[in-house]
Amino acid sequence: MKNENNRRIKNKMSVLRAISPDLSRIRLVDQDCLSKRAAQIREALLQGLERPFKHLIDISLGDAHRGGLQPITFVRQVISACLYPSLLDSGRLPTDVKSRARNLLKQCEGESVGSYTATCGLPKIQHSLSEFISRRDRGVPSSPENIFITSGSQQLVLRLFVHGKGSLQTGIMTPVPSSPLFNMALSSLGGAVVPYHLCEEEGWTLRLDEMRRALATARRHCNPMGLYVINPGNPVGQVQSQKSIEDVIRFAAEEKLFLLADEVYQDSVHDPTAEFVSYKRVLHEMGPPYSNTVELASFNSASKGFMGECGLRGGYVEFVNLDSAVMGHIYTLFSTEACTAVMGQIALDIMANPPRSGDASYTAFFENRRNTLNNNAKRVQETLNSLDGMSCQPIRGGIYAFPQLHLPARAVAKAEEAGVAPDLLYCMLLLEEMGLCVGPGSEHLQRKDTHHLRYITHLPDEPIVQPRANSY
């Protein structure tokens, strides 16, 4: 009996070779290889190994604290006091920190941030967010029950309606340059990426003719159901005008597309002539039939913007014009996961309700906040445009620079020989020779035969390392 068992088992192939076919189609972003190599180099530097540089600078990710941005004191004080309420009895913390922490703890079950919250987050914070949205949108109404607090909400929303195979496969129109994580998530769920190109020459604008072309092409092989927009742009830093948003909304209405608006950079607009206007506000101001029919999900986060608290994992999505039956399904879907981290929820509460004039922390908070918003975008743009072999469209908003690299034909040929995207090879050399880690444009599905770099600009005022395009 034992021998028979052993034979049976030895013949066994891995059960898990049969992984989901949707998964076997996705591949890791190049960034991941760069980050791993950067970690090795950092470790080597720590161990005193010789390199052509003393420090490694990693500005490849949308992660402000990694790049050196300091956290906002008020945020950290409130969360610490919630975690360790003995701090409330000390004289160390400002009075408004203490009252905020006490109020938040009252909202938590057992007065502990260690308890689960409701599926969509603490009701009081949903409420704060709806008031924040309404103020932001000049009075457009917002209901707490349409706000779902969670990290990873984009992937959950995709799970709601991505399904089907072949010509019935759900397609989502996504911008090029794209968000690689969004595209990976969509592919891993079995959806089709339907790329539409932003027009670099016009400052990375959305063009309706290109969106119509992309949609018509996609309809031949899948079922496009959604339109994903990122405003202010990631990684390209455009800020859509009200007119541009109206055009997109009309297009979504005519083509029956669910609008997914990634608005996580809403408080990062640097160009004084530009303004962030939310899709929700424009939709409301357009009036019927748009305002009461176009379905919209708008995403925001404590990871970006002035807080940059990526590690706390706090984000939310607001739904507009969704059928109540669909809202029920969304609630059920979100219920399959436990609530998001309570610390991230608290960060969102502070984002929605910063200290007010007269509060003990008011001055320090806005001093902190101004420092984080006073970023390098303009200086980066000017510097990049002054370099040979680089050009950069105006960076109006967001947290990235995305300059075009005009590589010599020789460099492109060398990369192709090595089987590596030319801008990835450039990034690898920049990392090895200068200790500077930036991301390659290739992972954003850039237009054929163009090459770009991506890096975060949202950092404290420090000297910019100047990459040279001809360093091959």
**Residues in region 255-284 near a second copy by CB under 8 A:** 256-258
In angstroms, the CA 3 to CA 121 distance is: 55
120 near 334, Cβ under 8 Å?
yes
333 forms part of the interface with a second copy (CB under 8 A):
yes
Q: Is 317 in the site for a second copy (CB under 8 A)?
A: no
Residues 146-175 that bind a second copy (CB under 8 A): 151-152, 155, 159-163
The binding track of 347-386 with respect to a second copy, each residue x by CB under 8 A or -, is: ----------------------------------------
Q: Which is nearer to a second copy, 29 or 392 (CB)?
A: 29
C-alpha dist (Å) from residue 340 to 7, 238, 298, 354: 47, 30, 18, 21
Q: How far is the CB of 92 from a second copy (least distance, A)?
A: 7
- Angstrom distance (rounded) from CA 60 to CA 423: 13
Tell the smallest beta-carbon distance from residue 161 to a second copy (Å).
5
Of the candidate spans 21-29, 124-132, 351-359, 417-425, the one that interacts with a second copy by CB under 8 A turns out to be: 21-29
Q: How far is the CB of 450 from a second copy (least distance, A)?
A: 26
The CB-of-406 to a second copy minimum distance in angstroms stands at: 31
Q: Is 457 helix (H, G, I), strand (E, B) or coil?
A: coil
Which residues within the stretch 211-250 sit at the binding site for a second copy (CB under 8 A)? 225-226, 250
Q: Which stretch binds a second copy (CB under 8 A): 117-125, 233-241, 260-268, 464-472?
A: 117-125
Judged by beta carbon, residue 52 or residue 110, the one nearer a second copy is: 110
Long-range contacts of 351-355 (CB under 8 A, 24+ apart): 351/132, 351/302, 351/305, 351/307, 352/125, 352/128, 352/129, 352/131, 352/132, 353/128, 353/131, 353/132, 354/74, 355/74, 355/96
335 binds a second copy (CB under 8 A): yes
Q: What are phi and psi of 296, to 5 degrees?
A: -140, 140
**CB 396, CB 274: distance < 8 Å:** yes
Residue 318 sits in the site that holds a second copy (CB under 8 A): no
| Residue 44 interacts with a second copy (CB under 8 A): yes or no | no
The answer to whether 24 contacts a second copy (rule: CB under 8 A) is yes
> In the complex with a second copy, which residue's Cβ is closer, 79 or 129?
79
Separation of alpha carbons 61 and 266, rounded Å: 18
> Which of 60-94 are b and which e, b meaning 16 or more Cβ less than 10 Å from the residue's Cβ?
bbbbbebbebebbebbbbbbbbbbebebbeeeebb
Mask 59-98, x = binds a second copy (CB under 8 A)?
--x-xxxxxxx-x-x--xx-xxx-xx--x--x-x------
When binding is defined by CB under 8 A, the residue of 40, 95, 116, 141 that contacts a second copy is 116
The smaller minimum CB distance to a second copy, of residues 117 and 238, is found at 117
DSSP string, 64-83: TTTTTPPPPHHHHHHHHHHH
By the rule CB under 8 A, 209 interacts with a second copy: no
